[in-house]
Amino acid sequence: MRTAILASGNGTNFEVLAKHFQSGDLPGKLALLFCNHPDAPVMARAHRLGVPTVSFTVKSCGGKVAYEKRLLAVLQEYRIDFVALAGYLRVVGPTILDHYDHRIINLHPAWLPEYPGLHSIERAFADRRAQTGVTVHYIDAGLDSGPIIAQCHVPILTTDTEDTLEARVHATEHQLYPLAMKQALTALNEKEN
């Protein structure tokens, strides 16, 4: 099973997953990091960890349709079986969804279906909820609406600032994502064998 991770930014979740692949905790091989921002810090993390990288932007492709066709060609060139989004700040369109049906997972910093989309941590903090959470789910054509693989609550403490809450959400992501990915990869392996 060959996995690609798609990311856009800093890459802390990418690095956690890459180390789990390298230690053998996750089945298969991390075969590719794709980043839609060539100068993003995640690229340096991938280089340091010896993970092959490809990067280009929507603008350099002349639009979303051409971008997704080029990305699909890259995924096929690397013989990718499974895709994980780790801070990939783009909606995945039908060109890729149709080819990787039930083979793309996403990490979301909220207890879905609460707070889909962007700024989930900030919105939960502003609403003064008792808790928020982290969700790993398959992606579909909706916004953070695909079938849920795993979730974990994160309390919002009365002493929290937005920064302290964000730090606890990220720490929870680093624990939950490898476990949920292992579950998804194992299920896919069993289905295909």
Q: Tens of pLDDT along 46-89? A: 999 999 999 999 999 999 999 999 999 999 999 999 999 999 98
**Residue 13 annotated in ligand binding:** yes
Per annotation, catalytic residue among 108, 119, 137, 174: 108
Residue 107 has pLDDT above 90, yes or no: yes
- Assigned token pair, 31: 């075969």
Q: Number of structural domains, the chain? A: 1
11 annotated ligand binder = yes
12 is in an annotated binding site: yes
Query: Which residue, chain included where needed, has tokens 């795993």?
Result: 150
**Catalytic annotation on 108?**
yes
Distance from C-alpha of 13 to C-alpha of 11, rounded to nearest angstrom: 5
**Structural domain boundaries enclosing 24:** 2-192
DSSP 50-95: T--EEE--HHHHTSHHHHHHHHHHHHHHTT--EEEESS--S---HH
> Which DSSP helix (H) or strand (E) runs through 130?
none
pTM, entire model = 0.95
Q: How confident is the model at residue 192 (pLDDT cuts 50, 70, 90)?
A: confident
What CATH number has the domain bearing residue 171? Answer: 3.40.50.170
Average pLDDT, the chain: 96
